[in-house]
Amino acid sequence: MQEIPIINVGGLFTNNDKERIYIDQQIAKAAFDIGFMVIKGYPKDLRVNQNERDIILKLFSIPEDKQKPYWKRNFQPNNSHIYRGWFPLKSSKARNREGFEIGPDIVRKLPKNSANDILYEPTPIPNSHDLPPNWREVTRNYYLGMEKIGNLILDSLSRSLNISQNIFQDAFRDGISTLRLLHYPKNTAQLNKEEDIPDRYTRFKGQIYEQTARPHVDSGLLTVLAQCGVSGLQAQNKKTKWIDVPIIEDSFSINFGGLLELWTGGKIRATKHRVIGRGESRFSVPFFFEPRPNTVIKPLPIDGIRKFKPFFYGDHLWATTTKFPENFGLLSLRPHQGEYENPN
């Protein structure tokens, strides 16, 4: 498979077994072959379309002086929040992206004793008078819609892997999924050559582009991404050729993370991807589908699966996310809850 498959997943939302089997086969082929797909056909009563995103993304209209109370402590030392909230343009030398990270408290009460784990940190929501009147309700419905899509895709993969659907369903009960709002501005910082960022620029089809997100594999399990109408996302196929992820109205790109590849013994592929600048301001809204921090990641009951030492998901997430610029240097703030060794 050399192109990104486009799959109509509408049948997953019905009780039509024949249609569901056909969609399961398509999702499995995409997951096992290229590790990337574009899905469409979700029910319109799921409040996750561009109209909703336009409202949610109004957050980036807040001027910088009013943003600062919601910046993460790494960028505003007097703020109390560390894991959730805003990382500003100054979080990177190139000033080529800013983002805001929202946790499950937007839709439900956090579980008892969650205050003891930084990964359950509440989201610092900006003042209501700086946002559209229905911002919180729209964002809540969007988050719930993303959870619905993520759960149905994992149910589908469970059937294809011939494992109980309860394994993933139980893991994501009281999960800590992150809704991340991203803005890539049209103009980024011009740095002196000696200060420049390694691999900042790349050549694609004879032209030079800025890599606003350099090649990487998502560290977690499953990402549901809305590209918001501007191209730039690319995935690497089996021949290590970069291919554009198509933009289709009311669709989402889905990719699988390195942890899901490990958890499934390599049956599901984690695919390297990147974002290249197209000379336009760009927004995207990824939803990182994440289980409870105390979920034990151990080899799934799949014949012949490679064995690895079990570990807690939260320990892996914190060890990984504290390498990113927005969380850099925070590793010591959350001791591991169990024995942990980098599984990669």
pLDDT digits (tens, 9 = 90+) for 206-263: 888 888 888 888 888 999 999 888 888 899 887 788 998 998 989 999 999 999 999 9
Query: The whole model's pTM is what?
Result: 0.94
Count of CA atoms in the C-beta half-sphere (13 A) of 295: 27
d(CA 274, CA 33): 19
Neighbour tally for 65: CB within 10 Å:
7
Place of tokens 């996750």: 48
d(CA 170, CA 200): 41
d(CA 71, CA 324): 15
Contact present, 157 and 31 (Cβ < 8 Å): yes
Residues 6+ apart with CB under 8 A from 20: 11, 12, 14, 156
Q: What is the pLDDT of residue 194?
A: 52
Residues 6+ apart with CB under 8 A from 308: 262, 298, 299, 343
Sheet containing strand 282-289, strands side by side: 6-8, 36-40, 252-256, 222-226, 282-289, 178-184, 98-102, 85-87
Spell out the per-residue pLDDT of the chain, length 344, in tens.
458 999 999 999 999 999 999 999 999 999 999 999 999 999 999 999 999 999 999 999 999 999 999 999 999 999 999 999 999 988 877 778 899 999 999 999 999 989 899 999 999 999 999 999 999 999 999 999 999 999 999 999 999 999 999 999 999 999 999 999 999 888 777 765 555 667 788 888 888 888 888 888 888 899 999 988 888 889 988 778 899 899 898 999 999 999 999 999 999 999 898 988 877 888 999 999 999 999 999 999 999 898 899 999 999 999 999 998 889 899 999 999 999 888 77
Contact present, 220 and 289 (Cβ < 8 Å): yes
Domains and CATH numbers, the chain: 6-333 (2.60.120.330)
